[in-house]
Amino acid sequence: MTSTGAVLRVGDRVAFDGDEHLVVGLAGAAVRLRADAGGEQVVLTGHLMAAVDFAARQ
């Protein structure tokens, strides 16, 4: 049986918290995001992916 879950990588773009973000770091269950508006934040992967407005961009 195989799993087809989402994988986040440094350099990916995501929508979250009302803005577009670049994934700039990953450490354990934490994701560091840089918003297009300039701010940075670290969030838990589960929190990020469970957000109502989360979407992976290409």
Q: What is the model's pLDDT at position 5?
A: 59
List the structure tokens of 46: 């589960």
Provide CB contacts within 8 A for 54, sequence distance 6+.
14, 15, 16, 48
pTM score: 0.85
Q: What is the model's pLDDT at position 58?
A: 72
Q: What is the model's pLDDT at position 1?
A: 42
Query: Cβ-count burial of 14 within 10 angstroms (0-12 exposed, 13-18 middle, 19+ buried)?
Result: buried
pLDDT digits (tens, 9 = 90+) for 4-53: 456 899 999 999 999 999 999 999 999 999 999 999 999 999 999 999 99
What pLDDT band is residue 3 in, cutting at 50, 70 and 90? very low
